[in-house]
Chains A and B, each alone.
Chain A
Amino acid sequence: MTKSILVVDDEPTMAFALEQLMKAEGYQVTTASSGQSALDCARKDHPNLILLDSSLPDRDGYDICQTIRKDGANEDVTIIMMNTSSRPIELEKGRACGANGALTKPFSLATAAKTIKDYLT
């Protein structure tokens, strides 16, 4: 069965690139550009993995992560935070809010593809 991925990023370039990459890797992809639309998509589509930007225009990415994790409909979803800093504190805060892993921007698409593959297999 095809795995589904939700890409949440308000940067159109990054969202587009990730969407193209994931599609090329054979995943089913939806995108969201805000925290609220990410929550709506997650509740509707029940993706297997969410790539979640830590800084969104309407709500904190960590807040979205915690909300999704508490939402009964998405208990098993894998959440990977996309941080803008590689500081250990960011990674630790992500884990405390329920994220499974993190990618630090800028990252190569190859690294992203491998990380996602590792989590979904």
Chain B
Amino acid sequence: MAPPTNKLERLSLRLRIFLFFALIAASALVIIAASLYFALQRIGPEATPHLVLFGGIAAFAILFVTGWVWQKFDLNVAQPIEHISKDVRSLVHAGASRGMDQETGKYLGLLNPAIREITNALTEARDETEKQIADATEETHKQTARLESVISNLEQGVLICSLDHKITLYNKRALKILHVSGEIGLGRSLFSIVSAAPFRHALERLGHRLQEGRHKHHREGLSQLVICATADGKHTLQGRVTLLLDDAQQSPTGFIVTFDDMTRQLADNVERDSLLQSALSDLRHPAANLLASAEILAGDYALAPEARLTLEKMLAEEANSLSTRLEQYDKRSHDMLTSAWPMSDVYSSSLFNSVLRRNSSEDLHLTCEFIGDPVWLHCDSITIVELIEYALRKVAEITGQRAFLLRASEQDHKIYIDLHWHGAPLSVAAINGWLDDPLDPDLGGITSRDVLQRHKSDFWSAPAPDGTAHLRLPLSLPRDHHTNQPQDEQMLLLPERLEFYDFELMERKYLGALEDRPLRELDFVVFDTETTGLDPSGGDEIISIAGVRIVNGRIMHGEIFDQYVHPGRSIPPASTKIHHISNEMVADAPPIQTILPRFHSFVSDAVLVAHNAAFDMKFLSLKQDETGIRFTNPVLDTVLLAAHLQGQTGSLTLDALAEQFDIEIPAQMRHTALGDSLATAQLLLRLIDLLEASGVQTLRDAVAAEKKAEAIRRQQARY
């Protein structure tokens, strides 16, 4: 539909009809007045009282009849037409498939049935088109899923960037290797996370190689090794930059970077080299001295008694020195895990879940529960899972027990994995009996002893303090610092689907100010808060905050912020009934002073969106002095945008709008910050469709529309 062009067209249909009737009434009054004036001139002044009476009655009757007809017309014609037109617009522009009300416009003759037929035909045609699109894109989705799977499971970090160095794709491994907390943020410059110079140099070289056509014969093609540092300079990365070409294979469209964190490896290599060098040089001297002294003493030499005594003392001293140095090297080597084997930090609950999953496929009918709080540890998870699972089976075989408990705990700078059962501990001989059995054949015949040696560890069984017996496996502490916050657990529950990418960013042009950019091109963070109550100024606090990013009109399910917040006060039971967040659930959560900076960083320069944004923004603004965090981003409110589009009369709650636009909110997600954020994000995308159709194209237009809607709501609130 073309947007209204003149002032009259901008007025609503109902107002225009009202003005039409008002014009009729006014014209009738003018005609009566003119007729009476004419009669007065003819009859004379004596007729004035009669004429005034007649005129008054006629004017009143005309006003009454016109008003009554207008009211009936408004109720039975104008309002139904507006209603029908709203439904049709929703159907046409936002795809809502809600059936049209048969009662609406029943006095409009065949209009309503005809429109219903049109909308049904349109719906059928749209369904057919959508089915064709769905069929056509299914294969694309499959390929995309395969790509997502490959990228997300890569051990290397992957970044794909446009030629202007803006990130258009990354995988989760990249976050870890780059030591980025939260999200990288699509569209952000690569050089805000890593040092620029090595990449500029590599891209320049690759550009020249491409221009001169040397890449066709070059050993590395369009790839180039890069050693760089993270932006904070703390970590050294080894990467490989590869140019991406257009379909014609002529011009570069971007580049892909794959990389590994070399910091630890380099440090380990340096340490190992140093240990080897010093061992070789330090041990050579005492060994030579020992050899010389022993040969002289054992040989057939005529030695004076004093000389023999001296040599014997020297022998003892050299042996002592050798022993001391050996002890020192032994200690230094303890700290160096054998990094030739790939090891990583693992969360014990993940490890134990893997053990259980493997065990469930075996026919032993064992039960195994996890006890205690999970901890992080450093190991080669696959072989440790095999080791624990095999031990579980062997212990079950030997003891006849079927119920086990698994616990991971930190003691004395080590992580102990303990397998508990009721009964007697196993003997060393019994444990040694299976240490040389090969584990899973897929692991190439590796044995439990091999795994223990790789981890410089050992197994033993002893009575546990709680009266059970346990099999104990000591492992190393994690290399990196991890926080065992509820967020980690929550992240596991989030959809795993990877949507960190958006290739359209390659084409994106950053032109002009933010407010003049089309709504569809803007980056949004749609967010929601759950609070202890509805009075931010009266002491109510945020207990949960969540946000989801929208880039180029797509909800990024992989870029989600979701965090409980410790409110520093109790949560009223009435509030818990709504959002189901209890005091216990936030007991270990970080305070708002910790969370808000992280959320601010997540939001970055995106447009903030919320349903009834003023409420959430009030909570955030009240914390700005305390946290030093000020949100200066533009803010959009889906309540006001919906009010602008649909008028102020209908319900504008999230539930009502979700129903209208066929947005499903899973029952368990409703009234959770994340669930409502995701629903609001879907709503925003539908509203943008309608806004564009009604001529609201840019952020500036949207803000202006919001202002009008807000002014009307204020007026209404006053009455």
Contact = CB atoms under 8 A, between A and B. Distances in A.
Interface of A: 59-60, 62-63, 65-67, 85-90, 92-93, 96-97, 104, 106-108
B458 A60 contact: no
Given A60-B428, A60-B432, A88-B412, A96 B472 contact: yes
Given A89-B474, A96-B472, A106 B429 contact: no
A62 B457 contact: no
Given A62-B428, A63-B427, A63-B432, A108 B330 contact: no
A66 B319 CA distance: 33
B460 A93 contact: yes
Contacts of B414: 88-89
A97 B456 contact: no
Interface stretch (B144-152, B208-216, B320-328): B320-328
Question: What 3 A-B pairs come out closest when comparing CB atoms?
Answer: A63-B428, A96-B462, A106-B323
Given A62-B460, A63-B432, A66-B428, A86 B323 contact: no
B142 interface: no
B331 interface: yes
Given A89-B457, A89-B458, A96-B472, A66 B427 contact: yes
Given A88-B414, A97-B460, A107-B323, 9 more contacts: A62-B460, A63-B428, A63-B429, A86-B331, A87-B456, A89-B458, A92-B460, A96-B472, A97-B462
A97 B428 contact: yes
Contacts of A107: 323
Contacts, number: 51
A60 B319 CA distance: 28
Nearest to B426: A66
A107 B414 CA distance: 26
B456 A108 contact: no
The interface size bin for chain B is 20 to 34
B327 A60 contact: no
A60 B462 contact: no
Interface string B396-433: 00000000000000001010000000000001110010
B428 A108 contact: no
B429 A59 contact: yes
Contacts of B326: 106
A92 B429 contact: no
Contacts of B460: 62, 92-93, 96-97
Nearest to A92: B474
Contacts of A87: 330, 334, 456
A16 B457 CA distance: 31
Contacts of A104: 327
A120 to B, nearest CB: 24
A83 to B, nearest CB: 11
Interface string B457-495: 110111000000000101000000000000000000000
A65 B432 CA distance: 14
Contacts of B456: 87, 89
Contacts of A59: 429
Interface in B334-383: 334
Contacts of B322: 106
Contacts of A65: 428
B330 A85 contact: yes
A90 B462 CA distance: 14
Given A96-B460, A96-B472, A86 B330 contact: yes
Nearest to B463: A96
A65 B429 CA distance: 11
